[in-house]
Structure 1
Amino acid sequence: MKRLIFSIILIYTSLCALAQGDSITLADPTIFKDADTYYLYGTGKANGFGVYTSTDLKSWKLNELNALTKGESFGTSGFWAPQVFKHQNKYYMAYTANEQIAIAEASSAMGPFKQQQLKHITLSGKHIDPFVFKDTNGDFYLYFVRLTNGNRIYMARLNNNLTDIDSTTLKPCIAATEIWENTANSNWPVTEGPTVVKIKNRYYMFYSANDFRNIDYAVGYATAPSPLGPWKKYKGNPLISRRITNQNGSGHGDIFKGNDDKWYYVFHAHNTNSKVGPRKTALIKLKLTVDGNFETVPSSLRYLKNQ
């Protein structure tokens, strides 16, 4: 009888685990919405980037093929922080590899994203965490991180074919200057993971601060009257942190609007309180107040599962 009860419990537990699915463990996640389908990408593979799809932000399915594969675009290692955008019926992926930034093309959001010439953008030094923003007037800007006296967020205009930057427009945006942004008092302060949206005539840049291994890794935002800045940090930062999520290392994600016309932020968190990776992928709803500030909806927080 005891064996039967144990077997029933074991089967029930297995079925529950199957129903819940496996946790998605993409760091630096981004969600791109095309029509009614969501595409989820992030850091997690040594040979490129995979892609998950969903129609409801709850049930996710991993595609069998990579969205981008090493050898078909720039890079041999360190495939980090992708972002996908669409322009004139083409899909583009901006991403990091070999601590450089490259942009590949595809005919579908599923990929495969490729380059005819395997190259990175023309800029000296090391640079990571790209985000391409298209303004309402049609201009494209690349926001990214330069590794120079810390991780600092910069921007530059993209050229017309969206393959490189106009280096004459290079401009700094944000560096770690606030207490919450460098809780370890590091000699190499970190601000990274920029993502930009425009709401009415105001530009919002979400970004993360602290080393990603730090339990205080968190998300804040700044606003500006122009994509060029100047950027003013929100006084209520950090917006997303372990105080809100109860999970260490909550940060580096992407803001997007869902099919319900609500704002969401996808991000990663440490695996456990004692283990950083593999980092878990999470989603939280945001609310824009009447005075133009963002707030989180803590009850909406959930971790993404592969069904």
Structure 2
Amino acid sequence: MNNSKPTSGNPVIPGWYADPEARIFDNLYWIYPTYSAPYEEQTFFDAFYSENLMDWNKVERILEMKDIPWAEKAMWAPSPIEKDGKYYYYFAANDIQSNNEIGGIGVAVADHPQGPFKDALGQPLIGEIHHGAQPIDPHIFIDNDGVAYLYYGGWGHCNVVKLNKDMISLDVFDDGLVYKDITPDLFVEGPCMIKRQNRYYFMWSEGGWGGPDYSVAYAIAESPLGPFKRVGKILKQDSNVATGAGHHGMIQIPGQDEWYIIYHRRPLSETDVNHREVCIDRLYFNDDGTIQPVEMTFEGVHERKLGN
């Protein structure tokens, strides 16, 4: 990296945070992470915004568990999206282990990207286990045709559902299914979808989130529903930088083939599983459309204002 210009540095935001989703809203970069703390302390969400990918401003408690009547244990792994002037915020809560428990994937809504977000349903949007997928780690993706897909799953299984235009109810696929199993090889959790040059890049986390081998792999498909054949890893630990690198979000500079990966990792000095930091690095594609392995850095990225 050219060090003659200032860079963001990594971690890009202070504090222990994980599972970052990254978006561009209102001509600002946004990072929406999990508050990385002992499980019972994950009772709220903060957000961060920037004009240039370098200088970040914190918005505290954009959503709190006390405002979600059915959430009682913890909340994590947010994924927001804008649709028709409203902001929809999907998240996991309660870590249910069976269909006899209340919890799963919720949705909150706000008029602004900084919230405050309010529970939209009074109950989970997805509150049961289908195809063996624990209802955690939602990721929302809207295709060019306006159709919204919600990818989610843990326990080594991944599902996709299609949302109605209201963004708070589930649609039915043409074949009559509501929940489609799209699990690629070695999937663990943390799905993420981007579209580039009319191809769908589906990414996910592998390994255990608390260990050093947490990592990110990907597949390429011609449809948002797959099939997703695993290509390989694009993000993993580096003995000189950090371990446990995974559960990421992506930013594309509008109108450019310029991509950034926002992810969490554990500093080499840390053994506490909750000591995770949010970092940002460039992501590059090869000429054949495959993704180059990400080089984790301490420098981060150069200034990148939107619209220049």
Please tell me the TM-score bracket, short chain as reference: 0.7 to 0.9
The equivalent residue for 2:180 is 171
TM-score by length of 1: 0.79
CA distance in 2, matches of 1:231, 1:259: 26
Deviation at 1:87?
Answer: 0.4
Letter in 2 for 1:173: I
Contact 2:107 2:120 in 1 (8 A): no
Shift of the 123–166 alpha-carbon distance from structure 1 to 2, 3 Å rule, reads farther
Deviation at 1:42?
Answer: 1.0
The equivalent residue for 2:207 is 210
Shift of the 278–203 alpha-carbon distance from structure 1 to 2, 3 Å rule, reads same
The equivalent residue for 1:50 is 46
The equivalent residue for 1:185 is none
Deviation at 1:156?
Answer: 1.3
The answer as to 2:24 corresponding to 1:36 is no
Deviation at 1:67?
Answer: 1.2
The correspondence of residues 116-131 of structure 1 with structure 2, limited to 5 A, is: 116-125=120-129, 126-131=134-139
The equivalent residue for 2:247 is 252
Deviation at 1:160?
Answer: 2.5
Shift of the 106–288 alpha-carbon distance from structure 1 to 2, 3 Å rule, reads same
The correspondence of residues 75-114 of structure 1 with structure 2, limited to 5 A, is: 75-99=71-95, 100-114=104-118
The correspondence of residues 1-307 of structure 1 with structure 2, limited to 5 A, is: 23-44=14-35, 46-63=42-59, 65-73=60-68, 74-99=70-95, 100-125=104-129, 126-146=134-154, 150-166=155-171, 168-177=177-186, 191-234=188-231, 237-243=232-238, 246-258=241-253, 261=256, 262-275=258-271, 276-296=273-293, 298=295, 302=299
1:147-170 residue CA offsets vs partner (Å, 9 max, x unmatched): xxx331111111221113247231
Unaligned runs of at least 5 residues, structure 2? 1-10, 36-40, 96-103, 302-308
Shift of the 154–59 alpha-carbon distance from structure 1 to 2, 3 Å rule, reads same
Letter in 1 for 2:288: D
Q: Percent identity?
A: 27
Shift of the 87–21 alpha-carbon distance from structure 1 to 2, 3 Å rule, reads closer
Letter in 1 for 2:64: T
Shift of the 301–293 alpha-carbon distance from structure 1 to 2, 3 Å rule, reads farther
Letter in 2 for 1:159: N
Shift of the 22–152 alpha-carbon distance from structure 1 to 2, 3 Å rule, reads closer
CA distance in 2, matches of 1:216, 1:115: 35
Shift of the 260–52 alpha-carbon distance from structure 1 to 2, 3 Å rule, reads farther
Shift of the 272–266 alpha-carbon distance from structure 1 to 2, 3 Å rule, reads same
1:254-279 residue CA offsets vs partner (Å, 9 max, x unmatched): 11113694201111111435513320
CA distance in 2, matches of 1:79, 1:102: 9
Shift of the 75–153 alpha-carbon distance from structure 1 to 2, 3 Å rule, reads same
Contact 2:140 2:149 in 1 (8 A): yes
Letter in 1 for 2:72: T
Query: Is the deviation greater in 254-263 or in 83-92?
Result: 254-263
Query: Is the deviation greater in 100-109 or in 238-247?
Result: 238-247
SS of equivalent residue, structure 1 residue 132: strand
SS of equivalent residue, structure 1 residue 137: coil
Deviation at 1:32?
Answer: 1.4
CA distance in 2, matches of 1:104, 1:55: 25
Q: Superposition RMSD on alpha carbons, in Å?
A: 2.4
How many pairs does the alignment contain? 267
Q: Choose 1 or 2 for highest CA Rg.
A: 1
Contact 1:220 1:238 in 2 (8 A): yes
TM-score by length of 2: 0.79
Deviation at 1:116?
Answer: 4.5
SS of equivalent residue, structure 1 residue 71: helix
Deviation at 1:35?
Answer: 3.4
SS of equivalent residue, structure 1 residue 24: coil
Letter in 1 for 2:89: M
CA distance in 2, matches of 1:302, 1:130: 29
Deviation at 1:244?
Answer: 8.3
CA distance in 1, matches of 2:15, 2:56: 9
Contact 1:142 1:165 in 2 (8 A): no
SS of equivalent residue, structure 1 residue 294: coil
